Amino acid sequence: MNRVGKKRVLFDSKNVSSNVQNGSISLASTLGAQTSSENAAIAQGLKRQSPELLDTLIELYQHRLLRYLLFLTGKREVAEDLFQETWMRVLLRGAQYNGKARFDTWLFTIARNLVIDLSRKRVMASLDEMSEGKDDDRPFEVAMSGPSPLEQFQSRENCAEVGEVLLKLEPSYREVLVLRFYEELSLEEIATVTRAPLSTVKSRLYRGLATLKPEMEQLRSSRSHAEVGI
């Protein structure tokens, strides 16, 4: 098997990117309850730099990882470059994963750090503020008993619309919504990935959901007017 490198094609970029952007990838397609024994096995394999394990992990997580990077950067080419770099880091720094946390939490943390590093070198929407906790840290209790605005909109017909609106949100809100509802991470796991206090994560989730609904309504209204020629 070829070693992972910058030149190695880990995925069909056009196909994967298109599927992610169009919302045709099932949100639960690669999700599953990761047990402590599975995490431990992954940790051991990464310590050995097992190429077979790396291929398996890429196959399982490529769509979720690329989707996350697309939402963070808003640019396909940038997301694809960071996708490759993330797996390089997994290969080279696999010994740092101890198996105590879910592998996807560790994977998204690596990807996020790469986005932050890139944002310091390029003129783009910086994620540095997301690590500085500049949000209002007052705790919010987010009601989760019923479907959230994101879940209400998340049907096969409008996945693309939801993705379009998410890209318009404040980056810190967008990231939390993606990790919570697309990747199904717990609030505590999101706090680990983003290095933010739990209260800040709750605040961003609340404010992101509050912003999402009117943005969706505005998008649909503008498209309805366009269809009737107004």
Give, for all 230 residues of the chain, the pLDDT tens digit.
444 444 343 444 444 444 444 433 333 334 445 678 889 999 999 999 888 899 999 999 999 999 999 999 888 999 999 999 999 999 999 999 999 999 999 999 999 999 998 887 765 444 555 555 555 444 333 334 445 545 555 544 466 677 788 888 899 999 999 999 888 899 999 999 999 999 999 999 999 888 888 887 787 777 666 665 55
What is the reported pLDDT for 13?
Answer: 43
Please, is 122 exposed, middle or buried when counting C-beta atoms within 10 Å of its C-beta (0-12, 13-18, 19+)? exposed
d(CA 224, CA 52) in angstroms, rounded, equals: 50
pTM of the entire predicted model: 0.67
Q: How far apart are CA 195 and CA 202, in angstroms?
A: 13
What domains can be seen in the chain, in order of their start residue? 13-126 (1.10.1740.10), 132-225 (1.10.10.10)
pLDDT at site 190? 95
Query: Rounded to the nearest 10 degrees, how much is the dihedral formed by the CA atoms of 103, 115, 61, 20?
Result: 150
Q: Which burial class, exposed, middle or buried, applies to 182 when counting CB atoms under 10 A from its CB (0-12, 13-18, 19+)?
A: buried
